[in-house]
Structure 1
Amino acid sequence: MRNRASRTAEQVALFRALETARGRDRVFDDPLAVRFLRGGYRGLARAAHIRVVGRGLEKYIDRRWPGPRPSAVARTRLIDDLVTGALAHGARQVLLLGAGYDSRAYRLPGIERVAVFEADHPATQAVKRRLVRGAVRPERRRHVHYVPVDLLTEDLGAVLLGAGFGALEPTVVVWEGVTNYLTEAAVDGTLRRLASLTATGSRLIFTYVDRRALRGEIPVAESWHRAVRRQGEPWTFGFDPAALPGYLAERDMRLALDLSTRDAADRYLQPLGRAENAASFYRVAEAEIQ
């Protein structure tokens, strides 16, 4: 992952593009997702606007790799709602940490009124910046600040402050699809730094993998892990959901929400009559800075 853009980030963008192509029964609209795709992926996403093609692609993906697509769709909508809620309750800046091909800075209502900082590995971010320049007018991206950083080797706080991040400002942080690729020390250090950088009441929204999946104790997770290993992006870290409240409390955070992507799919997808096989071991948590 050090010298190229993340392959898993592009796959999540594909899942978001396929959901957007659904039209009437989509659970979110991400018009930029297709712009982050290359070659064949982009062709598939464009073809998905033909309903029978789109549904066929979804079925093929879900048979071949059960779980990742609906999990990505459900977590995207859940995190959208959590960020929108934090903005409504006074967040003055947004930090997209390990932003990948996240387009929330351009599509969530009201987000253009606050400063948005996108912090990511330089390789992935370089690709994204080029694509955004070609897809988003300058006046629609003036509130976005790009911050290249490698969480494994650099001081996140120093890099953010150097880019104009407001220390001790009410903030909402999104850390999506990242913790499971880091070391335990990197996750610990990042959480402690975020708690010291942001105001009391700030929100941290993050995803994680149940630690049992890394130990091979959840059979359904094995196909996921094999797939990311083949792409050179193996899972390296997970949390024990039962221990998460205490872990966060030791780092000056209070756990406010912890849902599996299965729970999120039940909330957003089932009412549309879409039986999905999202995963119970992949989870979305929200913590409040104390």
Structure 2
Amino acid sequence: MSHKDNNQKSSKTAMLAAFHRALANHEFNNNEIHGPDHLSRFFLPSFKRFILNFTFIRSLVKAKLKKIIPGMDELMIARTAFYDGLFKDALNNNFPQIVLLGAGYDTRILRFADLNNATRIIELDVLSTQNNKKKCLEKANIRIPEHVTLTSVDFNKESIPDVLEKAGYDRHLKTLFIWEGVTMYLEPASVDRTLEVVTRFSNSDSIIAFDYLVTIPSGEINNWYGVKEILQIMKKQYGDEKFIFSIDEGKIGIFLDERGLKMTEHFDSRTLEKKFLTRKDGSLIGNMMAAYGIVTAMMK
């Protein structure tokens, strides 16, 4: 997602993620590999939706993507599957509140609406991306559920607690915070301020889940699958959405502890592959980009 001025164009990286999810829905629309998103196609330009309809063209696109950004397709599948599971668990366990910090073109509020009994859901994102999301859903005749509130925010400039409060957030309710695909684009101070929402402005039983990039010395980039290529493509095609933030390898627990949080679950690239990219026969659909992790945490 983009985290610059609210008047700028909608996020290119959020659109890229939507395309990967739509592609996965065509390739793995079964119970063997999880993570497809049958609604993500509605956010795509017409020519990309056209591409998705043809197996041969999809194969060519996947081959090209694998060459340009190896492991990204697999990363998006695993990432989507992880957060889908977390979101569904929260609804099934009747969490009173879910907050999506930087929702992009996420569709969980729609795909899992039938699981929602009375959970309040708030989506935050930059105004440009959020407006485009609303426009695409309206064009597809898809209504946003009444229990969902979409609110714009600039993570680098605005007070998250203030924005949430205006959106109807109740700090006294147990909350699941999903912070998907965001931290890497933020300044370190913005990451800290957002984590403080959990430690200072939420119920003590609340949970936050977020993904992050691992810090890699420049001389070791070639040793990490897909990293060199993603850095090149980000610089070339997504210059307005730069990778800024990362966490040293093996230091995520310390990072959280220093900010008043305790780690409850952690996945690196390899463990994500094992859990979400493995077929029933034990084979992998492919390797995901390295130097990536997802963590869940609570207040200490």
TM-score, length-scaled by structure 2 = 0.88
Q: Structure 1: state its 5+ residue gaps.
A: none
Q: Helix, strand or coil: the match of 1:270?
A: coil
In the alignment, the residues of structure 2 paired with residue 60 and residue 222 of structure 1 have an alpha-carbon distance, to the nearest angstrom, of 16
Tell me by how many angstroms 1:252 deviates: 2.4
What is the CA deviation profile of residues 225-279 of structure 1, one whole-angstrom value per residue up to 9, with x for unaligned ones? 1211221111001012422212212322111112123321221222254431202
Paired residue type of 2:42:
R
Whether 2:53 is the aligned partner of 1:46: answer yes
Residue correspondence of structure 1 range 88-237 to structure 2 within 5 A: 88-108=92-112, 110-111=115-116, 113-135=118-140, 137-138=142-143, 141-212=145-216, 215=218, 217-219=220-222, 220=225, 221-230=227-236, 231-232=238-239, 233-237=241-245
Larger helix proportion of the pair:
1
TM-score, length-scaled by structure 1 = 0.91
In the alignment, the residues of structure 2 paired with residue 216 and residue 91 of structure 1 have an alpha-carbon distance, to the nearest angstrom, of 45
Aligned sequence identity (%):
27
Within the candidate set 268, 275, 279, 2:276 is matched to 268
**1:30–1:143 CA distance, 2 compared to 1 (3 A):** same
After TM superposition, the structure 1 stretch with the greater mean CA deviation from structure 2, 232-241 or 246-255, is: 246-255
**1:288–1:90 CA distance, 2 compared to 1 (3 A):** farther
In the alignment, the residues of structure 1 paired with residue 89 and residue 299 of structure 2 have an alpha-carbon distance, to the nearest angstrom, of 16
In the alignment, the residues of structure 2 paired with residue 6 and residue 35 of structure 1 have an alpha-carbon distance, to the nearest angstrom, of 15
Conserved? CA contact 1:34–1:46, under 8 Å: no
Q: Helix, strand or coil: the match of 2:189?
A: helix
Q: What is the aligned partner in structure 2 of residue 58 from structure 1?
A: 62
After TM superposition, the structure 1 stretch with the greater mean CA deviation from structure 2, 36-45 or 95-104, is: 36-45
In the alignment, the residues of structure 1 paired with residue 149 and residue 165 of structure 2 have an alpha-carbon distance, to the nearest angstrom, of 12
Tell me by how many angstroms 1:222 deviates: 1.7
**1:55–1:27 CA distance, 2 compared to 1 (3 A):** farther
Conserved? CA contact 2:87–2:108, under 8 Å: no
Within the candidate set 237, 250, 268, 1:242 is matched to 250
Q: Helix, strand or coil: the match of 1:17?
A: helix
Conserved? CA contact 2:36–2:77, under 8 Å: no
Q: Structure 2: state its 5+ residue gaps.
A: none
In the alignment, the residues of structure 2 paired with residue 39 and residue 254 of structure 1 have an alpha-carbon distance, to the nearest angstrom, of 44
Q: What is the aligned partner in structure 2 of residue 85 from structure 1?
A: 89
- Write out the 4+ residue segments of structure 1 that deviate beyond 4 Å after TM superposition: none
Q: What is the aligned partner in structure 2 of residue 21 from structure 1?
A: 26
Q: Helix, strand or coil: the match of 2:242?
A: coil
Q: Helix, strand or coil: the match of 1:271?
A: coil
Tell me by how many angstroms 1:136 deviates: 5.2
- The number of residues matched between the two structures is 285
